[in-house]
Amino acid sequence: AQKITQTQPGMFVQEKEAVTLDCTYDTSDQSYGLFWYKQPSSGEMIFLIYQGSYDEQNATEGRYSLNFQKARKSANLVISASQLGDSAMYFCAMREGRGATNKLIFGTGTLLAVQP
C-alpha cells in the first residue's frame, strides 16, 4: 500500500491565485514528520516546508503553508499568490520509523503549471 499518496498528477493555476496540492499519508507511528519539496525543470530538489506530527499549529514559510489534518492523515500544501516561478513538480514526503528503521519516503508528485 502507498505510504504517501498524491492524487493530482498535474494541476493548472492562474498567476496570483492560491493553489492546494493534496497529500495523504499512512503510518502507524505516533511520531513522524511531513515534508514538501519542489523540483523545478532544472532537476534539483528544494526543501519547502516541514510539519511534525506533534505540532499543533500548521507550518508556514512565506507563501507556503501546510494544512495538516492529523485525523484525516492529510498534509496539503497551500501556495498563496502563485508566481510563474512556482511551476514545478512538488513532492510530499514522510519521515517514519524509529532508530535503525527511520527513513524518508516520497509520493509520486504533482506537476504544477502556473499560467499568466
Partner 1 sequence: IAGITQAPTSQILAAGRRMTLRCTQDMRHNAMYWYRQDLGLGLRLIHYSNTAGTTGKGEVPDGYSVSRANTDDFPLTLASAVPSQTSVYFCASRKGAGNTEAFFGQGTRLTVV
Candidate residues 12, 18, 40, 47; the one interacting with partner 1 per rule CB under 8 A? 47
Q: Which residues pair with 20 in a beta bridge?
A: 78
Binders of partner 1 among residues 63 to 82 (CB under 8 A) are none
Count of positions on this chain that bind partner 1 (CB under 8 A) = 25
Alpha carbons 34 and 74: distance in angstroms, whole number: 10
**Residue type (1 letter), 54:** Y
Among the candidate windows 13-21, 64-72, 79-87, 90-98, which touches partner 1 by CB under 8 A? 90-98
Nearer to partner 1, 55 or 67 (CB): 55
* Distance of closest approach, residue 1 Cβ to partner 1, in angstroms: 12
Candidate residues 68, 75, 87, 91; the one interacting with partner 1 per rule CB under 8 A? 91
Candidate residues 8, 27, 67, 108; the one interacting with partner 1 per rule CB under 8 A? 108
Q: For residue 18, which of 114, 110, 116 has the smallest C-alpha distance?
A: 114
Sequence-ordered list of residues with C-beta below 8 angstroms from that of 64, at least 6 positions apart, any chain? 36, 48, 49, 77, 78, 79
35 binds partner 1 (CB under 8 A): yes
Which residue spans within the chain are E strands per DSSP?
A: 4-5, 10-14, 19-21, 24-25, 33-39, 46-52, 60-61, 64-69, 74-79, 88-96, 103-106, 110-115
Binding site for partner 1 (CB under 8 A): 6, 9, 33, 35, 43-45, 47, 50, 52, 91, 93, 95, 98-109
